[in-house]
Amino acid sequence: MLYSIIVTGGLENIAREELAERFEDTGHLKIIGRKPQRILFQYSGNPRDLLSLRTAEHLFLVIKQLPKMTRSRRSLTALSRSLARFNFGEAFACCRQVGIRVRKRITFRVTSRLAGQRNFRRLDLQRVVERALLERGWHNTGTGAALDVWAEVHGDDGYISIRLSPIEMAQRPYKQAHIPASLKPTLAYSMVRLSQPRPNDVFLDAMCGAGTLLLERAFAGRYRYLIGGDVSTEALAATVANFGRKHQPRQFFHWDAQNLPLQPKTVDKIVCNLPFGETVGNASQLATLYQKCLREYQTVLKPSGKMVLLTSQRTLLDSLLKQQRALKIAQRVTVNVRGKRAWIYVIRNLQHTLRV
């Protein structure tokens, strides 16, 4: 069966790595290609297993892939004809495996997406697919439909898919308490993954917000200790609520990340969403904040430890890192965050190497 996952822009390689790590050794997986915000792959195992992917926003069963979509409206005619002839038997069986109830009276809704210059509109694409499915005897009920059908055209590629994933795949059931500008869990997991989690990690998020990074580290595997803190009591309350009584040992602090009450060289991994500047008064204040936080992080980080930092302030962070001989940028990933361009920095601490 042909599947696709949708991911945050910039995280395609990380998602592909997770897919390969989780399923390639099983012999069930063959990755077909990577597109912007999409990984396309064949998988012969139980599709329910794919719902555990933590980089994916959505999981789709691709029922039709049309690799030569032109600008002409004739492309819509070809798409409609292919749906009229399609045998949905295997697709329905796949839906049932993930818990989607497909009954004799099939209900559906269509979501359409269109990118690039076309001689037809997104609404035209949607209506063609709706009409083809109505002619098969299906019922277009919109809200509450059993099947969520997506019709998408991006560049030369067209896809007709059924969404297999519930909303919890991207949102996570643990996220009961929210704060403004909280990280998406899929992005948080990707940052945790870039830190290369180890069972003996002492893991720190000094600006923990609603605790998303800490929780994604908890779900990523064994660790020694989780430490979180924030200057906002509202944020700390959200972290405590989202954790509940699970994921020990861990400890949360009300603190200012510019002055951490931790012993030097006690933390293995620091993963943090740095302020984007939206809540900081001016550029000078933001630069001071970054400088002091970076100094504190370097102090508490063990020799050969690692930081993973998210920022929209690339020029500022680059400038500060150039002043620190012991901190080396190992990787930089461009990512889309709430419609803005941002960067994930993977930074190695070379203190031990420099002493040698």
Extract the tokens encoding 36.
């912007």
Instruction: Say if CB 197 and CB 223 are below 8 A apart.
Output: yes
Measured CA to CA, the distance from residue 89 to residue 85 in angstroms comes to: 12
Q: Give residues with Cβ within 8 angstroms of 309, minimum separation 6.
A: 270, 271, 272, 273, 274, 317, 344, 345, 347
Instruction: Say if CB 45 and CB 23 are below 8 A apart.
Output: yes
Q: Give residues with Cβ within 8 angstroms of 96, minimum separation 6.
A: 102
Helices (H) and strands (E) in the chain, counts: 11, 15
- Burial (CB < 10 A; 0-12, 13-18, 19+), residue 276, is middle
Q: Of residues 257 and 80, which shows the higher confidence score?
A: 257
CA 231 to chain centre: 26
pLDDT, tens digit, for every residue of 28-61? Answer: 999 998 888 999 999 999 999 999 999 999 999 9
Superfamily grouping for domain 172-355? Vaccinia Virus protein VP39 (3.40.50.150)
Q: Work out whether strand 202-205 and strand 2-6 pair parallel, antiparallel, or are unpaired.
A: unpaired
**Percent of the chain scored above 70 by pLDDT?**
97
* Element (DSSP H or E) covering residue 123: helix 122-134
CATH 3.40.50.150 intervals, the chain = 172-355
CA distances from 242 to 187, 220, 227, 236, 324 (A): 17, 16, 15, 10, 36
Nearest by Cα to 94 from 163, 7, 193: 163
pLDDT, tens digit, for every residue of 95-153? Answer: 999 999 999 999 999 999 988 788 888 899 999 999 999 999 999 997 889 999 999 98
* Element (DSSP H or E) covering residue 157: strand 157-163
- Phi, psi angles (nearest 5°) of residue 341: -80, 130
CATH 3.30.2130.30 intervals, the chain = 2-169
Highest mean pLDDT among 24-38, 172-186, 238-252, 281-295: 238-252
* Element (DSSP H or E) covering residue 293: helix 283-300
Nearest by Cα to 125 from 149, 143, 152, 157: 152
CATH code, residues 2-169: 3.30.2130.30
What's this model's pTM, rounded to 2 decimal places?
0.92
Extract the tokens encoding 266.
């006690």
Q: What pLDDT sits at residue 278? A: 66
Q: What pLDDT sits at residue 226? A: 98
Q: Work out whether strand 327-337 and strand 202-205 pair parallel, antiparallel, or are unpaired.
A: unpaired
Extract the tokens encoding 275.
């302020």
Nearest by Cα to 27 from 47, 12, 42: 42
Residue 320 has pLDDT above 50, yes or no: yes
For residue 183, which amino acid is it? Answer: L
Q: What pLDDT sits at residue 279? A: 59
Q: What is the layout of strands, in order, in the sheet containing 147-154?
A: 29-35, 38-43, 2-6, 58-66, 157-163, 147-154, 107-115, 139-140
Instruction: Say if CB 66 and CB 129 are below 8 A apart.
Output: no
Q: What pLDDT sits at residue 319? A: 95
Extract the tokens encoding 26.
């099983």
The pLDDT mean for the chain works out to 92
pLDDT, tens digit, for every residue of 189-215? Answer: 999 999 999 999 999 999 999 999 999
Extract the tokens encoding 212.
């998303």
